[in-house]
Each structure stands twice: as structure tokens, then as C-alpha cells.
Amino acid sequence: MLTRALLLMFASVALLSACTKDDEGEKPIEGVKDIQFINARSYTDWVYFSFSKGETVEINDFQNSLEWDIAFHRGDIRTNGGASGIGQAEALNTQQKSWDAITEAPLSGYKKDEIGMITIEFTGEGIVEEEQPYSQVLSTWLEIDTSNPPPRYVLSNWIYVVKTAEGSYVKIQLYDNKNEKDEAGYVSFTYQYL
């Protein structure tokens, strides 16, 4: 009888503790997510990614969809806002390289995507470019020197803050443009909601 009373008392305390936490509105902490080797090698196609889903998504009409946040095309990046889409997306370079240095989203300084020139073909005779919307801010993550073959890639390692299509903020660091076989055109990055 005493054992049963003790069990009921412990269960009641546990239930009250759980209710107190729920009543305070505690939310789970969003963890750091690591995405590796997104194949963005195509010169003609973009690969679209949703931060909330944590995966690539198929998009038919990128400029009229809210199902994506960021997209990759070799070294180019676009966000779902400005000239690239109907979302609220915009980006800011924090000028920091230490992940822990950015703990909250800055209030200003963001830029929306604009139209600019991107490479759509690389031939033996040179590169072919075309005007397309992309993020001039985020595309500073990688410098590609094609003056002498083979191309040389230099990563900036900047930490960026991206406003998503829906208006949330994400910090992101793009840390590699090659896959495990050292082939270029594969994007790897770490991101976390702020």
C-alpha cells in the first residue's frame, strides 16, 4: 500500500514538472545540421533546398514557389526572394568565419537576389554566360580561377545569415565544393536556425 502511494506521488510530481515546462512554452532547440555533397555540377540545372525539410526538393517553377529557400548551380547560389522568387529570402555576409561568433540574426544589411551573369557552359574555347537571378552575397563563398587549367577553387569560409522564404533566419557556412572523390561541383554546408 505504501509502495503504491509512493509510486502515485512520483508520477504526480513528474506530471506536474512536464506540465510546468509545457506551460512555460519551452521549444526544442534547433540543432546544427550538416548537409554533404549536394550534386550541383550541372551547368544548366539548379538544385533547390528547403531548410525546414533539411533536404533538396523538386521545383518546377522556382520564381512562383515557396517550397524552397536556397538553390545551387556549381558555385552560384540563389535564394527565394528578390529577382529569384516570391519568398522573403535575402542574405547577409557577417564577415565572420567562426561559427560560434554568430548567435543571433543581425537586424539590417541584407540583400535580395539580383540579375547577373552566370556560367552556363564551359567549352574548350572558353565559358558561355547568361543573365539569371542569383545571390551576389552568397556567391562570394567560392572563388573560381579559370585563368590556367585546371580551375582553382578558393573557399571564403564566411558565415552568412539567410532569411528563408517564410521569413525565418538561418546561419550557414558553405565549407566544401568537392565530394569524397575530390570532384568539384558538390556543395557541402552547415546550417542552423537562429
pLDDT tens-digit map of 132-176: 999 999 999 999 887 887 888 999 999 999 999 999 999 999 999
Given a contact cutoff of 8 angstroms between Cβ atoms, the answer to whether 126 and 108 are in contact is: no
From the CB of residue 33, how many other CB atoms can be counted at a distance below 10 Å?
14
For residue 14, being part of any structural domain is answered with no
For residue 98, being part of any structural domain is answered with yes
For residue 123, being part of any structural domain is answered with yes
For residue 15, being part of any structural domain is answered with no
Give the per-residue pLDDT at 121. Answer: 92
Q: What is the pLDDT of residues 100-114, one digit of tens each?
A: 999 999 999 999 999
Q: Out of 9-13, 45-49, 107-111, which region has the weakest mean confidence (pLDDT)?
A: 9-13
For residue 152, being part of any structural domain is answered with yes
The residue segments making up the domain with residue 106 are 32-193
For residue 103, being part of any structural domain is answered with yes
Q: What is the pLDDT of residues 142-154, one digit of tens each?
A: 998 878 878 889 9
Q: Which long-range contacts (CB under 8 A, 24 or more apart) does 153-158 make?
A: 153/75, 153/177, 153/178, 153/184, 157/97, 158/93, 158/94, 158/95, 158/96, 158/97
For residue 16, being part of any structural domain is answered with no
Our count of domains for the chain comes to 1
The answer to whether residue 12 scores a pLDDT higher than 50 is no
For residue 182, being part of any structural domain is answered with yes
